[in-house]
């Protein structure tokens, strides 16, 4: 049979098959027959076996030619990508050491190196595709984002399965989702990927191996058999699978899911490529085994065995494929092998330059750690422990960060500094921020989201812990983590932080886009001011990018801003781009570089921890005792670390010593000034009078509140904290402090009791419990909640304790209150100037 198959394919191709092409030829013919049979079973069954063989051979022949073409393209792409990086390594005029250039290829530093990182690119790609789904995210959000609209989700799913619901909005959303998913597939394939197009794709599919194991194989197979489309399971002769054949296939799928870590794939997808592969381009070429007969079947399966809620299914698909697109475009078909080659090249070049091997290895180890984190190598060893750790940290966010909205005012220092660097007026940026905070400007905010701006905040505005009618999380620890995480997200949303952060990001990014939108109308690359050209090149933008931007039409928003966006690039007629190469590929490259540059600078203006900062703060694997303890201790350290590392890198990248000093001093001066404002606003919000701004204690608090230095800040603030926390509390983080509290409440009180000393157990337990109540310190309700609820409880448990603490605060920190339990007066603003 194999000889007959080979001869038929050779006839279809018009040439002899190569040895590697002839491998598994029989199976390829069988697969082709099944593919053709599914198209028209009646016609297929009327054909003779020889006719079927001929038609199947044509398919196999075309696939063989396509595979050769794909492999040649992959090889050419890999060579071009490696040569591009090696050429950059050999550039003697580059301002960074060779080892640092590889470092920047993985993570963003903020030092205007001219190298756009893998991490930044993946975020930019995901943001662009996520932004295209703006209608989905806005229409499935219930009142104030407190729940998801189950009815709309149900309609969207049905429309995706080509079932008309009569709802025009749902139909529009489904059509856009299908378009976005297909665009991602096509872009991945442009770099050598091999994702086939399914006519019944419907929705990405996820599953929970834990749920399958609880149900057992027979029950799962029975459940699936009732819901799959039997028309999709066809033998090579056109007959449908028998019950026994289908059962055997599903049993194999069950085993694959529950024993091979297949939860990273779609439901029941099995690799047909002859085993595992390290090639990212081959990562998504598995054939789907479960074909659901309709939307209801998919919904029922997801509800019973799905692994992620509806919104998270979509997000996992977008972020996962965006990462793979970034990997194949930046490192080629085999990123891990590419990294090995690049590391060896760096070692060779620096060795030839006489650079210490230790110095090279130290940087390369850091680079490898960041690359491994990006690749998802740091998977939790124990899911239960990892979920418990996540639940604990989420509870800390919900209970401790209710006042962060006021603290975020200090972001304006970073925004002003970054705007100044780019020659953008700060007050214009601030005006745009106010514009975005206005509830009436919803359409303008949605336009910004659709352009890929602040899409994580858009996603965070949706409650993902309420019942979405699709998927229930399995396992107590997982449910606890899901609920705790969602409560934290909700607290951040009702605190206003989510909205303020999104508005700040949008405002700055728009001003950057407006600058480029206007400049491209007026100036050629050679006519740009030297500083503008330096900033563009430092952000990874080339002269060719600029020339293509000039061909694009800026998007105009409600304020009249002329925004140079990725959308602008994609709308350039193909005929205008043929001079630069393949129009589709050029659009992807230029649009993504623009978006990456904008988001990198946005990350400097509205500070957030990136891959570099996250990796630096890691010790121990997730899901291990050591790893979870460390994460609990270092929680909330990422922001000051990001300030130090990102803006520290940019300060050190300035060309002169005076430039370095001025950058650092001006930024710290502004953050300290705004930190002082935050201190006063928090005092007033807590019911206290403003603090004396002429004291050293106030200066130290202002410095720390503004961002400060992470470790030095902990030491300094311990001496000025009115809550009684000491240096150790700040150094060991939330977990260390909580463990100390538990020890004090239990062992400490037991020891006092054994020694015949009076204990304060009731009050200590009350404070410990109160401090873990979500939203108990929400900045606009804290003072009133304390006065009406918590103070009353504490007075019952520990009479006189609050008076003692208040006298101590007044004695040590000159703290007085404008909001008492039995009286209210205006805050004493004269105290702020020492009167």
Q: How confident is the model at residue 733 (pLDDT cuts 50, 70, 90)?
A: confident
Instruction: Work out the burial of residue 313: count CB atoms within 10 Å of its CB; fewer than 13 is exposed, 13-18 middle, 19 or more buried.
Output: buried
Residue 30 is predicted with a pLDDT of 84
Q: Looking at the predicted structure, is the pLDDT value of residue 410 above 50?
A: yes
Tokens in use for 460?
């965070």
Residues 743-761: tens digit of each pLDDT: 988 988 888 888 888 788 8
Percentage of the chain lying above the pLDDT 90 cut? 54
C-alpha 17/C-alpha 23 separation (Å) is 10
Within 13 Å of residue 248, how many CA atoms lie on the same side as its CB?
6
Query: Average of pLDDT values for 479-501?
Result: 88
Q: Collapsing DSSP states into helix, strand and coil, what is residue 615?
A: helix
This prediction's pTM: 0.88
Query: Average of pLDDT values for 150-165?
Result: 92
Query: In 3D, which of 371, 344, 331, 342 has the Cα closest to residue 78?
Result: 331
Percentage of the chain lying above the pLDDT 70 cut? 88
Please tell me the least confidently modeled range out of 134-148, 281-295, 476-490, 800-814. 281-295
Residue 48 is predicted with a pLDDT of 86
Residue 207 is predicted with a pLDDT of 83
Q: Is the distance from CB of 227 to CB of 292 less than 8 angstroms? A: yes
Residues 663-697: tens digit of each pLDDT: 999 999 999 999 999 999 999 999 999 999 998 88
Q: Looking at the predicted structure, is the pLDDT value of residue 249 above 50?
A: yes
Residue 322 is predicted with a pLDDT of 96
Query: In 3D, which of 479, 499, 160, 490 has the Cα closest to residue 296?
Result: 160
Tokens in use for 108?
């963003």
**Contacts for 748 with CB less than 8 Å, ≥ 6 apart:** none
* Exposure letters 571-582 (e unless 16+ CB within 10 A, then b): ebeeeebeebee
Q: How confident is the model at residue 256 (pLDDT cuts 50, 70, 90)?
A: confident
Please tell me the least confidently modeled range out of 143-152, 562-571, 602-611, 826-835. 143-152
In this structure, the number of other CB atoms found within 10 A of the CB of residue 537 comes to 14
C-alpha 612/C-alpha 95 separation (Å) is 20
Phi, psi (5° rounding) for residue 817? -120, 140
Residues 174-230: tens digit of each pLDDT: 999 999 999 999 999 988 887 877 766 667 878 888 889 999 999 999 999 999 999
Residues 696-711: tens digit of each pLDDT: 889 988 988 887 554 4
Q: Collapsing DSSP states into helix, strand and coil, what is residue 240?
A: strand
The CA-based dihedral angle spanning residues 294, 299, 304, 308, taken in that order and rounded to the nearest 10 degrees: 130
Q: How confident is the model at residue 625 (pLDDT cuts 50, 70, 90)?
A: confident
Q: Is the distance from CB of 563 to CB of 556 less than 8 angstroms? A: yes
DSSP collapsed to 3 states, 650-715? HHHCCCCHHHHHHHHHHHHHHHHHHHHHHHHHHHHHCCECCCCCCCHHHHHHHHHHCCCCHHHHHH
Residue 101 is predicted with a pLDDT of 96
Within 13 Å of residue 673, how many CA atoms lie on the same side as its CB?
10
Residue 727 is predicted with a pLDDT of 54
Query: Average of pLDDT values for 231-258?
Result: 90
**Chain mean pLDDT for the chain:** 86
Q: Looking at the predicted structure, is the pLDDT value of residue 493 above 70?
A: yes
State in Å, rounded, how far the first CA of the chain is from the last one.
100
**DSSP one-letter code for 143:** G
Q: Is the distance from CB of 535 to CB of 422 less than 8 angstroms? A: yes
C-alpha 159/C-alpha 151 separation (Å) is 12
DSSP 268-297: T-B--SSS--S-GGGTT-PBP---BSSHHH
Give the DSSP H or E segment for 562: strand 562-563
Query: In 3D, which of 680, 678, 688, 682 has the Cα closest to residue 819?
Result: 688
């Amino acid at each position: 049979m194999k000889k007959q198959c080979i001869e038929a394919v050779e006839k279809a191709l018009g040439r002899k098959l190569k040895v590697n092409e002839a491998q598994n030829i029989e199976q390829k013919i069988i697969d082709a027959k099944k593919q053709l049979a599914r198209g028209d079973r009646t016609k297929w069954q009327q054909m003779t076996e020889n006719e079927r063989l001929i038609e199947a051979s044509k398919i196999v022949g075309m696939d063989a030619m396509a595979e050769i073409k794909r492999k040649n393209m992959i090889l050419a792409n890999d060579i071009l990508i490696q040569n591009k990086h090696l050429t950059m390594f050999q550039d003697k005029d580059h301002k960074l050491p060779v080892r640092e250039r590889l470092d920047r290829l993985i993570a963003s530093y903020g030092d205007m190196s001219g190298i756009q990182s893998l991490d930044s690119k993946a975020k930019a790609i995901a943001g662009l595709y996520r932004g295209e789904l703006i209608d989905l995210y806005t229409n499935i959000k219930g009142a104030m984002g407190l729940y998801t609209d189950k009815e709309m989700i149900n309609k969207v799913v049905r429309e995706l399965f080509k079932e008309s619901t009569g709802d025009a909005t749902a139909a529009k959303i489904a059509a856009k989702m299908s378009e976005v998913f297909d665009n991602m597939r096509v872009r991945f394939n442009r770099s050598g990927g091999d994702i086939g197009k399914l006519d019944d794709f419907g929705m990405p599919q996820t599953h929970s191996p834990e749920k399958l194991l609880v149900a057992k194989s027979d029950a799962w197979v029975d459940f699936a058999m009732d819901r799959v489309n039997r028309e999709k399971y066809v033998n090579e002769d056109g007959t449908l699978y028998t019950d026994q054949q289908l059962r055997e296939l599903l049993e194999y799928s069950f085993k694959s899911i529950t024993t091979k870590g297949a939860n990273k794939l779609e439901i029941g997808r099995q690799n047909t490529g002859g085993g595992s592969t390290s090639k990212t381009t081959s990562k998504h070429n598995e054939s789907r085994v479960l074909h659901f007969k309709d939307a209801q079947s998919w919904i029922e399966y997801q509800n019973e065995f799905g692994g992620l809620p509806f919104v998270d299914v979509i997000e996992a698909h977008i972020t996962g494929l965006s990462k793979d697109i970034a990997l194949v475009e930046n490192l080629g078909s085999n990123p891990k092998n590419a990294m090995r080659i690049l590391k060896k090249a760096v070692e060779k070049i620096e060795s030839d330059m006489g650079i210490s091997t230790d110095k090279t290895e130290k940087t390369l180890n850091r680079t490898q750690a960041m690359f491994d984190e990006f690749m998802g190598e740091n998977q939790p060893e124990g899911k239960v422990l990892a979920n418990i750790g996540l639940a604990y940290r989420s509870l800390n966010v919900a209970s401790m960060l209710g006042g962060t909205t006021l603290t975020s005012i200090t972001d304006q220092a970073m925004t002003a500094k970054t705007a100044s660097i780019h020659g953008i007026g700060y007050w214009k940026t601030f005006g745009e921020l106010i514009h975005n905070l206005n509830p009436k400007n919803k359409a303008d905010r949605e336009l910004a989201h659709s352009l890929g701006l602040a899409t994580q905040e858009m996603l965070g505005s949706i409650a993902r812990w309420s019942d979405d009618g699709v998927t229930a999380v399995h396992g107590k620890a997982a449910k606890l983590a899901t609920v705790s995480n969602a409560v934290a997200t909700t607290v951040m949303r009702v605190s206003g932080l989510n909205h303020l952060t999104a508005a700040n990001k949008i405002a700055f990014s728009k001003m950057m886009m407006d600058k480029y939108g206007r400049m491209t109308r007026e100036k050629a690359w050679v006519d740009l001011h030297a500083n503008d050209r330096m900033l563009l090149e430092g952000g990874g933008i080339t002269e060719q990018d600029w020339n293509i931007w000039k061909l694009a039409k800026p998007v105009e928003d409600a304020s009249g801003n002329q925004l140079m966006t990725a959308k602008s690039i994609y709308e350039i007629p193909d005929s205008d781009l043929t001079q630069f190469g393949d129009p589709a590929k050029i659009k992807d490259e230029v649009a993504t570089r623009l978006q990456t540059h904008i988001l990198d600078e946005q990350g400097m203006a509205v500070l957030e921890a990136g891959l570099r900062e996250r990796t630096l703060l890691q010790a121990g694997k997730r899901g291990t005792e050591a790893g979870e303890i460390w994460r609990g201790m270092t929680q909330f350290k990422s922001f000051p670390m990001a300030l130090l590392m990102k803006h520290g890198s940019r300060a050190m990248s300035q060309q002169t010593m005076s430039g370095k000093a001025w950058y650092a001093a001006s930024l710290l001066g502004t953050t300290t000034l705004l930190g002082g404002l935050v201190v006063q606003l928090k005092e007033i919000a807590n019911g206290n009078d403003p603090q004396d701004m002429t004291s050293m204690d106030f200066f130290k608090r202002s410095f720390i509140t503004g961002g400060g230095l992470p470790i030095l800040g902990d030491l300094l603030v311990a001496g000025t904290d009115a809550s009684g926390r000491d240096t150790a509390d700040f150094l060991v983080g939330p977990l260390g402090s909580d463990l100390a509290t538990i020890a004090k409440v239990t062992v400490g009180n037991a020891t006092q009791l054994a020694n015949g000393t009076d204990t304060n157990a009731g009050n200590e337990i009350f404070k410990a419990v109160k401090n873990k109540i979500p939203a108990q310190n929400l900045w606009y309700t804290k003072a009133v909640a304390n006065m009406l609820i918590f103070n009353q409880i504490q007075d019952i448990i520990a009479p006189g304790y609050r008076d003692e603490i208040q006298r101590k605060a007044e004695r040590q920190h000159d703290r007085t209150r404008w909001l008492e339990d039995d009286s209210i007066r205006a805050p004493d603003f004269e105290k702020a100037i020492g009167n």
